[in-house]
Chains A and B, each alone.
Chain A
């Protein structure tokens, strides 16, 4: 079920009301969360439910085993057994065909017909697999006691708002919320609705409008001049942000309606002053997952310089591969590793941990320059991410730079240009004025008329400027 579908508009209020009617019976309330989440997920294909149930049960029982075992070697075996099972499932569905095809391209002249399985990729498999894995690792590290409440655990893995595209939650923060009774909080619910509204705006107005232009240009990059290609790359940068952070906002806001707090996933990444700051603000739940479960165990930055280089590449390449089974994602990861390395080797990767232009309405010229440069570097990286193949990405860059001053960018229909211009302006104004807040639509005027006026304006923009077909979220494929 998509958030931007009629089914969800019906599903959400019904689920909300039943959930709070069951507020005095925690077990039934959690069971209802599991049932609703499985319905939400099974809407795509009921067969996927078997997979998520299997993943959840593996992690649950491995957690119980880890709790019982005291012998370090046996505990390690249990942990690695669970990791292997989960990664095998993930690899089978997500990466097998990619590696088989690459093998065939290298050694069998591309004849991969007999090797390929053509399995359908279950929606959100990378997200819930990582969430389930984080639980096992945390139990192994004894930072969390094993859960003995199967229903609460199933609710933790399958909680529908964040099931298919994150944020990737940690058991240490989400699981206890399912083990304790929840109380309805009106301010939290109102804030949740507000955040959902902002998320819908980013997805349905900004991202989908950008997609109309971007898809057209990326389908035939050789037809257009350099300025058009640059504009398409910039618009894809906004599209992927609007799409993914929009989803996260809807998910976090939706969870708040159920009295559950999820972690922030995006913190104004395009206001970053360098790439290191960008990675602290982009897809935070995944970045911190890799940091805590791969980068730090590898030694992080507190090892020899060659190891730092290696660790940085490992983390970015794995991050690229996580996004999809294609060389373009690996190249995207390598590109960011190359941008990140100088900062970490020079010890300048934590220069910008504060809010940009804190206490000032506008950034300084230096900050503006830093932000623009970082944005431009991100734009160049997103071309790799969006391209279908390395070949297409190279052609895109070549065509863009060789014809950059070959005329003005192609403009779409006036109504689309108007929608794009207006939505980008609203995004900039709202996000800039909400720096340092809990989310980008936190700060609201005290005056009721002004506040409701803003909500109605956003609702109108969604209704009047959405792309009428239901457009799936980009990150569902990951």
Chain B
């Protein structure tokens, strides 16, 4: 049996080297299903993390998923006297937000944080966002830990390819992301603008909301980072179009869970789906305008106060 084990232990590293070489080769050709090997995809995370170097001591830091970077228009808040940065990205879950915060929170040093939470994101496995983050941002030990904690082959392969692409080929520094990807235009400060409206009325099956334990843990870790730095934060949920909103059978439960984590704001504004929504869960230009005005009024009505050190948790 010993020769068998010895041979097996010799084979495994050889196989790993062979695997990595093939992954790099096929990854360059774009022929790998379980690895995202292309930089500069929808969401403009690549541009955002390059842009972030120019921002320090902002008044507001926006965090969250596409709902965040497609809603909180930093130009609008600048026009009203708030400097801000939008650090949202496609499908970004608290797991990835924590990685980004560990990297950029201290340099941004925000006066307050608006943390967008959406029921779909809180039950998400985080794979899509993880591969986006690994492809488009510099590899750090936190990103590596995150990649391994998800136990997903797509994330693992993307991480392997990112090591090759960033550390061996130095592609990330050389890469320049287009300002316009599909219909989305990147605006300095992190917001992404879209001029069209693709809203189609759809029916959604009834859905019972859940929260993935991993996401809840990560959200608490993010909140702990704010508390350690005495940064006030608000969890904000942006409304969905009517049919989608209606499909969530236990939304009050979700509201209760979020409220237990700290200040939480969710308000249904008088919006018309066909007028104010880009699709079922993203606002369009008039919707964004309306929502940001509402948020501004909310912020003005709730002046910044340091977050409590030990608020009651569920």
A binding-site residues for B, Cβ under 8 Å: 6, 20, 184, 186, 189-190, 193, 415-416, 418-419, 452-453, 455-457, 459-460, 463-468
B-chain residues with CB within 8 Å of residue A415 when the two chains form the complex? 30-31, 33
Complex contact A468–B127 (CB within 8 A): yes
A190 to B4, Cβ gap below 8 A?
yes
Complex CA gap A464/B4 in Å reads 27
CA distance A409 to B154 in the complex (A): 29
| CA distance in complex: A190, B33 (Å) | 29
> Is B168 an interface position by the 8 A CB rule?
no
Identify A186's interface contact among B3, B26, B153, B154, CB under 8 A.
B3
| Ranked 7 nearest A-B pairs via Cβ | A456-B18, A460-B22, A464-B32, A468-B154, A186-B4, A184-B1, A465-B33
Q: B314 → chain A, closest Cβ, in Å?
A: 29
Chain A residue nearest to B8 (CB atoms) is A193
Cα–Cα, bound, A416→B31 (Å): 10
Q: Is B19 an interface residue (CB 8 A)?
A: yes
Q: Considering the chains assembled together, what is the distance between the CA atoms of A336 and B278 in angstroms?
A: 53
CB distance B4 to A189 under 8 Å? Answer: yes
Residue of A416, A419, A460, A465 contacting most chain B CB atoms (<10 Å): A460
Q: Tell me if B35 and A456 are in contact (CB < 8 A).
A: no
A–B Cβ pairs within 8 angstroms, 30 of them: A184-B1, A184-B4, A186-B1, A186-B3, A193-B8, A415-B31, A419-B33, A452-B14, A455-B11, A455-B15, A456-B14, A456-B18, A459-B19, A460-B18, A460-B19, A460-B26, A463-B23, A463-B34, A463-B153, A463-B157, A464-B22, A464-B157, A465-B33, A465-B34, A466-B34, A466-B153, A468-B34, A468-B152, A468-B153, A468-B154
**Is B151 part of the contact surface with A, judged by Cβ < 8 Å?**
yes
Q: Is the interface of B mostly helix, strand, loop or mixed?
A: helix
Q: How long is the Cα–Cα vector from A464 to B29 in the complex, in angstroms?
A: 13
| Contacting pair B153 A456 (CB below 8 A) | no
Q: Which residues of B contact A20 (CB under 8 A)?
A: 1
Residues of B within 8 A of A468 (CB): 34, 127, 152-154
The residue on A at minimum CB distance from B4 is A186
Bound CA–CA A193/B8 (angstroms): 10
Residue contact B15 to A464, C-beta cutoff 8 Å: no
Minimum CB distance partner of A189 in chain B? B4
**In chain A, what residue has the closest Cβ to B31?**
A418
B interface with A by C-beta (< 8 Å): 1, 3-4, 8, 11, 14-15, 18-19, 22-23, 26, 30-35, 127, 151-154, 157
Q: How far is the CA of A389 from the CA of B64 in the complex (A)?
A: 44
On chain B, the residues within 8 Å of A184 by CB distance are 1, 4
Measured CB to CB, the nearest residue on chain A to B26 is: A464
CA distance A258 to B299 in the complex (A): 66
For the complex, what is the distance from the CA of A460 to the CA of B154, rounded to whole Å? 13
Distance between Cα atoms of A236 and B191 in the complex (Å): 45
Which of B8, B22, B127 neighbours the largest number of chain A CB atoms within 10 Å of its CB?
A: B22
B15 CB contacts on chain A under 8 angstroms: 452, 455-456, 459
Contact across chains for B33 and A464 when beta carbons are under 8 A apart: yes
Q: Please measure, in the bound complex, the distance between the C-alpha atom of A418 and the C-alpha atom of B11, giving whole angstroms.
A: 28
Contacts of B154 in A (CB 8 A): 468
The answer for the CA separation of A457 and B15 in the assembled complex, in Å, is: 9
Chain B residue nearest to A20 (CB atoms) is B1
- Could you tell me the distance between the alpha carbons of A184 and B4 in the complex, rounded to whole angstroms? 10
B4 touches A456 (CB 8 A): no
Given A6-B151, A184-B4, A419-B33, 12 additional A-B pairs, CB 8 A? A184-B1, A186-B3, A455-B15, A456-B19, A460-B26, A463-B153, A464-B31, A464-B33, A465-B34, A466-B153, A468-B152, A468-B153
* Cβ contacts under 8 Å, B35 to chain A: 464
Inside 8 A of B32's CB, which chain A residues have their CB?
A: 464-465
CA separation between A186 and B4, bound complex, in Å? 6
Chain A residues within 8 Å of B14, by CB:
452, 456
* A474-B275 Cα distance, complex, nearest whole Å: 46
A467 to B31, CA, bound (A): 14
A292–B235 Cα distance when bound, in Å, is 67
A457 touches B22 (CB 8 A): yes
| Minimum CB–CB distance for A416 against chain B, Å | 7
In the complex, which residues of chain A have a beta carbon less than 8 angstroms from the beta carbon of B23?
A: 460, 463-464
Interchain CA distance A464-B32 in the complex, whole Å: 5
Cα A419 to Cα B34 with chains together (Å):
11
Smallest CB–CB gap between B160 and chain A, Å?
9
Q: Using Cβ atoms and an 8 Å threshold, which residues of chain A touch B30?
A: 415
Complex Cα distance, B3 from A150, in Å, reads: 34
